[in-house]
């Protein structure tokens, strides 16, 4: 009996310690602080490292430019994206590396992650919530990749066509405190050329594509079509409604085809015709 009484409090203390450690691990602020320390150790001197909400942002840029991107691009765009679409925010840190030029971008992509074959502009690693950016090319790709990172916890099953369409929409955008608006961009020329040449993929086919099909032959055209379908919905004032209805009813409509018809009030053929006619009116740069 005495021996039993002596180890019972020890077990209770161990259980309490375990619960406390688990709570600390789950505490978002502590997770971010831990990520900041990890990144600082990885990069060493010569980098600025700061926090914006759940983002840990590191860069080798001039301080003034770094803070403009931190506040203007990361801060304002994340707030606008959350307000526009998402109900659930990430409860884990997302790391953004901003490299000032192609040379340091490729050097650190290889050094930190072993990534050798990388996009010239930057990329997103969803398995470890990391964005690696050649910010010397501008901030359009950063907002594209941020869209992926912020949508992931809110719509984890988002199909590739809509994930890339929404992210591509934000490559060229205007940002207000509670709204982000995609504008025409360089992808328009290839899309209009495909329309003229009769190479357009029907929207019904596009939304039914698997990830492998979307990223296979014709990938550039698939991106353009998905982007300008998202922009068409935005123009109609229906993009937010489509996003949320698609997310909430995904188990019943895994491609989004039925949700598109419901939100636009148009069957696939009528939507296709109206969308193509609208795309042909667009100009980039705008006149």
Q: Mark residue 169 as left, alpha or beta (left: phi above 0; alpha: psi -120 to 50; beta: remaining).
A: alpha
Q: Please give the model's pTM, rounded to 2 decimal places.
A: 0.88
Q: Which CATH fold would you assign to the domain 23-154? A: Glutaredoxin (3.40.30)
Select from 71, 62, 61 the least CA-distant residue to 97. Answer: 61
Predicted local confidence at residue 28, as pLDDT: 85
The whole-number pLDDT of residue 26 equals: 67
Predicted pLDDT at 11: 31
> What local confidence, expressed as pLDDT, does residue 6 receive?
29
What is the rounded distance in angstroms from the CA atom of residue 277 to the CA atom of residue 271?
A: 10
10-residue stretch averages of pLDDT, the chain, 287 residues long: 30 33 63 95 94 95 97 95 94 97 97 95 96 97 97 97 98 94 97 98 98 97 98 98 98 98 97 98 91
- Per-domain residue ranges of the chain: 23-154, 156-287
Find the angle CA(224)-CA(167)-CA(237) to the nearest 5 degrees: 85
pLDDT of residue 220: 97
The residue among 196, 174, 187 whose CA lies nearest residue 227 is 187
DSSP type of residue 216: S
Q: What is the pLDDT of residue 12?
A: 32
Q: Does residue 36 contact residue 29 with C-beta atoms inside 8 Å?
A: no
């Amino acid at each position: 009996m005495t021996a039993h009484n002596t180890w019972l409090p020890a077990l209770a203390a161990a259980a309490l310690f375990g619960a406390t450690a688990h709570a600390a691990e789950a505490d978002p602020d502590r997770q971010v602080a831990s990520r900041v320390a990890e990144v600082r150790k990885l990069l060493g001197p010569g980098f600025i490292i700061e926090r914006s909400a759940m983002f840990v942002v590191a860069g080798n840029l001039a301080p003034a430019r770094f803070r403009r991107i931190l506040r203007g691009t990361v801060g304002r765009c994340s707030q606008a994206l959350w307000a526009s679409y998402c109900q659930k925010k990430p409860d884990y840190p997302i790391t953004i590396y901003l490299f000032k030029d192609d040379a340091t971008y490729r050097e650190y992509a290889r050094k930190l992650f072993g990534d050798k074959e990388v996009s010239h502009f930057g990329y997103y690693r969803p398995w470890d919530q990391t964005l690696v950016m050649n910010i010397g090319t501008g901030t359009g790709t950063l907002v594209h990749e941020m869209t992926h990172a912020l949508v992931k916890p809110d719509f984890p099953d988002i199909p590739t066509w809509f994930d890339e369409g929404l992210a591509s929409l934000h490559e060229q955008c205007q940002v207000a405190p509670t709204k982000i608006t995609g504008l025409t961009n360089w992808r328009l020329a290839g899309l209009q050329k495909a329309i003229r040449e009769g190479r357009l993929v029907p929207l019904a086919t596009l939304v039914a594509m698997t990830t492998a099909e979307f990223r296979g032959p014709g990938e550039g055209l698939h991106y353009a079509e998905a982007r300008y379908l998202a922009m068409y919905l935005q123009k109609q004032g229906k993009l937010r409604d489509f996003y949320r209805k698609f997310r909430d009813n995904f188990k019943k409509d895994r491609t989004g085809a039925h949700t598109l018809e419901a939100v636009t009030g148009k069957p696939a053929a009528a939507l296709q015709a109206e969308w193509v006619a609208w795309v042909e009116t667009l100009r980039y740069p705008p006149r």
